[in-house]
Amino acid sequence: MITNASLADRARRVMPGGVSHELRYRTPHPSYIARALGAEKWDVEGKRYIDFKLGAASQLLGNSCPQVIEAVAGQLTRTPYTGDCHALEIEWAEWIHRLMPSADLVRFTGSGTESTMLALRLGRAYSGRDKVLRIDGHFHGWHDMLLKGAKPGFEGAPSLGVPQAIADLTVIAPSSLNAVADLLADDQIGTIFVEASGANYGSVPLPDGFLQGIRDLATQTDKVLIFDEVITGFRWSPGGRQARDGVLPDLTTLAKIVTGGLPGGAICGKAEIMELLDPGKPRGGFAPPVSHKGTFNAAPLVAAGAIAAMELLSTGEVQAQADAMAARLRDGINRCFESRQISALAYGDSSTCHLYFGGRSIDGLSAAEIRTVPAPLVNGLRNGLLERGVDFMSFTSCVTSSAHTPELVDEAIEIFDETLADLVMNGVIAA
């Protein structure tokens, strides 16, 4: 019989730690998912979970969206991949151009990390300056160039193997416009990166007016402003955070929802910057001026599924449903905290839910303060929820989808309350 434990034993023999992503690691072993539909999934042992991870926030339409699956299956009968141009990539780019306000031109990539790599290369090429300013605790993928500052309150890169010479090109700023303005006086900074939601898809929200303020500063100091909308894109609204708030960056990085939850990513932005990718417009002896390759960029299978997703995402109805379910989840969890007299808070924007266990407000707190949680609480809550059949994306954060229903959310709230009761009884949380 196949079990989670037996698969973990096999995995450890052939993969470091037995996993393909460090956040999937779990002791004594992870759960191995065999099937997923809507807002639920089942592991190889048949155990069912209410899913608030949703493919690391990629499945806004819910797991196994029928329209996306039908489109991918239809394309598979024609060709999964040849490495050539095809009509679907044009249609997909047209959807992004139509929905994202900053998207004069679009280029597809293989992942969100690749999107931020390419956007940074473009920012440096257009500005002619090597340094990049990023906000403390914001996440822009796992590559060397933007890893410094991903761990809040830590000045270095949170990984071995990142050359100091690369880290020195990154300037970390708090989410304070005054501090950002002071740092932008450095003429070597040519590019600014901001996670449009705030750090960790909004677990540390940006101050009111921050996006417009940093837009103004970038314009005044002649910097290239890049919004990382890998999670907010098409989730906060059909046109992302930038459309909802009316603040346009110079470049935008996309992944997850832009592909219909399939592997891939994209960048889009001002024509004058994006044209540096045009092989037909050489500059400085290079054609194209900014090199970008990628075997599986805009693969037909992905493009077909993405187009099907765009048709659903464009109306705003799926976002409204997901937002309503997240609000219901946050309200229900806060009622649990209040009834048990636990000093904690569920909060979030759009279709997200974040947890803070240090009080009833996060106002004025730094990213490090919000995201520092004792290990017993981390393990107790995450393991308790998983054992009872609820899967959050992380211990303190999750997302909802258009497939979530009031009944599923209410069931998850009951499970959350049961888990809290255990943590209080065991002295992990003070009530």
What average pLDDT does this structure show over 365-394? 89
Q: What is the pLDDT of residues 177-231, one digit of tens each?
A: 999 999 999 999 999 999 999 998 999 999 999 999 999 999 999 999 999 999 9
pLDDT band of residue 60 (cuts 50, 70, 90) is: very high
pLDDT band of residue 42 (cuts 50, 70, 90) is: very high
In sequence order, what DSSP letters do the residues of 230-262 get, joined into one string?
TTTBTTTBTTHHHHHHT---SEEEEEGGGGTSS
State CA 415 to chain mean position distance.
26
**Residue 130, both tokens:** 């090597």
What pLDDT, on a 0 to 100 scale, did the predictor assign at position 41?
98
**Residue 378, both tokens:** 């981390």
Q: What is the pLDDT of residues 220-258, one digit of tens each?
A: 999 999 999 999 999 999 999 999 999 999 999 999 999
> How many other C-beta atoms are found inside a 10 Å radius of the C-beta of residue 427?
9
User: Angle 291-147-129 (CA atoms, 0-180°, nearest 5)?
Assistant: 50
* pLDDT surpassing 90 at residue 431: no
Q: What is the pLDDT of residues 3-38, one digit of tens each?
A: 999 999 999 999 999 999 988 988 999 999 999 999
pLDDT band of residue 369 (cuts 50, 70, 90) is: confident
What average pLDDT does this structure show over 331-343? 96
Mapped onto helix, strand or coil, the DSSP state of residue 181 is helix
Distance CA 289, CA 275 (A): 9
330-344 b/e (C-beta count within 10 Å ≥ 16 → b): bebbbebbeeeebeb
Query: Left if phi > 0, otherwise alpha if psi is -120 to 50, otherwise beta: which for 282?
Result: beta
pLDDT band of residue 301 (cuts 50, 70, 90) is: very high
* Mean pLDDT for the chain overall: 95
Domains of the chain listed by start with CATH number: 31-64+316-425 (3.90.1150.10), 66-313 (3.40.640.10)
Q: What is the pLDDT of residues 82-122, one digit of tens each?
A: 999 999 999 999 999 999 999 999 999 999 999 999 999 99
- SS3 of 335-370: the string is HHHHHCCCCCEEECCCCEEEEECCCCCCCCCCHHHH
pLDDT band of residue 126 (cuts 50, 70, 90) is: very high
* pLDDT surpassing 80 at residue 263: yes
Give the ranges where 4-137 is alpha helix by DSSP (H).
Answer: 4-14, 54-57, 66-76, 87-99, 112-127
DSSP β-bridge partners for residue 51: 391
